[in-house]
Amino acid sequence: MAGISRPHRLDLGGQRFGRWVVSERRQVGSRGEISWFCRCDCGVERFVKAQALRNGRSASCGCLALEMRVRHGMEGSPVYDAWAHMIQRCENPKNRYYPDYGARGVTVFSAWRADFLTFYRDMGERPSSRHSLGRIDNDGNYEPGNCRWETTKQQMRNRRNTRWLEFNGERRPLGEWAEIKGLPAKIVKDRLWNGWSVEETLTLPYPTNRWARRQT
């Protein structure tokens, strides 16, 4: 209709995505998808779909992947697999774990996404075969400061439905506090359910019932 303008399309001209530098030239495909003319740091030039640039699926003409294979020789290693699976969980809608990661808005730090070696330098080797990549804040992204190598026990305690308790300025999962204080986790849960404060729950010895607590 006259007087109604179409929404402004996102201008990627002049921006860098991995090794791609976007020019001002763009083209529209038969299905309406936008592609931008890009130049790779190695000199290769081609049109790249805007969506592939923005979601990190295209970070170079292919030279980056080739260079990584030649440079570090770590494809197939546990650390490399953790890196690759991290990206799949966050970016591939067909991945079985995508609903719990990418669909929830969890993303991968751009420098890690573009370069495995950057991820490797930040995270280092797995401490043991019992460790896997985990996030400290399950609502946060895969990024420096929010990732660590975790044991299965740590990951079980750090699920989205994990109950966290703050005591003496420290925030830990309920199960971890129970272990530190030498209390059965069920007793900690029962005490809290019965209205005990966090301090009472973690400091009073077991067995101690609510009646005995009131007599002190």
CA distance 211 to 216: 9
Q: Which residue has the higher pLDDT, 210 or 193?
A: 193
Residues 35, 89 within the same domain: no
Host domain of residue 106: 74-160
Q: 187 pLDDT band (50/70/90 cuts)?
A: confident
Residue 113 lies in a domain: yes
Residue 2 lies in a domain: no
Q: How many domains does the chain have?
A: 3
* Average pLDDT over the chain, rounded to an integer: 80
CA distance 185 to 151: 19
Q: Is the pLDDT of residue 141 over 90?
A: yes
Residues 171, 101 within the same domain: no
Residue 68 lies in a domain: no
Residues 26, 84 within the same domain: no
Residues 100, 148 within the same domain: yes
Residue 24 lies in a domain: yes
Q: 206 pLDDT band (50/70/90 cuts)?
A: confident
Residue 69 lies in a domain: no
Residues 83, 52 within the same domain: no
Report cis status (omega within 30 of 0) of the bond before 207: yes
Residues 151, 96 within the same domain: yes
CA distance 41 to 43: 5
Q: 211 pLDDT band (50/70/90 cuts)?
A: very low
Residue 64 lies in a domain: no
Residues 78, 155 within the same domain: yes
Which tens digit of pLDDT belongs to each residue from 152-177? 666 666 666 667 778 888 777 777 77
CB 148 within 8 A of CB 134: yes
CA distance 163 to 177: 11
Token couple for 4: 């109604």
What is the length of the chain?
A: 216
Token couple for 127: 């401490």
Distances in whole angstroms, Cα of residue 139 to Cα of each of 28, 85, 136, 161, 199: 36, 18, 9, 11, 27
Which tens digit of pLDDT belongs to each residue from 16-41? 888 899 998 888 887 788 999 999 98
Residue 1 lies in a domain: no
Which tens digit of pLDDT belongs to each residue from 51-108? 888 877 788 887 776 666 656 677 778 888 899 889 988 988 888 888 888 998 999 9
Residue 109 lies in a domain: yes
CB 53 within 8 A of CB 20: yes
